Amino acid sequence: MSTVKQCIIVLLFAAGSFIISCKTVPKYEAPVEPVITPVEVNVNFRFIAYDTEIANPDDDKRCYYKVFIDKIDAGRTTIGLESQKKYFEAKLSPNTHLIVIEKWVLDEREGEYKKLNNILQPKPNFYYFETRSNAVTEVTMVNDKKTNRAQYSVTMQ
């Protein structure tokens, strides 16, 4: 009888080990990039940036811009292809402000965003603008990718 019990125990142990080792592997899900929405509905500043003169779709990389207002990290734009418009919105005090931008590009091999080399950053990478409490100041930066020359325009809405 003890041999039968030992055989049953060995069979149960083997079956349990087999069942535990047959766990399913979790399904791979691609990472979801966060959508940046304005924290405040009552914004009075909007920054828009995009690139032109992209000769080849392979050169149209995913990117975003880090935004510094008055030398303080204020956040970043939405993510998109260089040729697409990227947006940043904020509520600023009525005054003259300085915006400085840094371009960050997706390194496809490593799967992470890296700051673009200073030589390839848009130039100039800063602009002075004025905000009012009763209007939205929109600063648009258009960067020529061939020359890395940025042109800024300002509209009040």
- Topology of the domain covering 45-156: Immunoglobulin-like (2.60.40)
pLDDT value of position 37? 46
User: Is residue 50's pLDDT more than 90?
Assistant: yes
Lowest mean pLDDT among 5-19, 31-45, 69-83, 117-131: 31-45
Computed over every residue of the chain, the mean pLDDT equals 85
Angstrom distance (rounded) from CA 82 to CA 48: 12
pTM of full prediction above 0.75: no
Average pLDDT over residues 95-100: 95
pLDDT value of position 105? 95
**Residue 142: Cβ-neighbour burial (10 angstroms; 0-12, 13-18, 19+):** middle
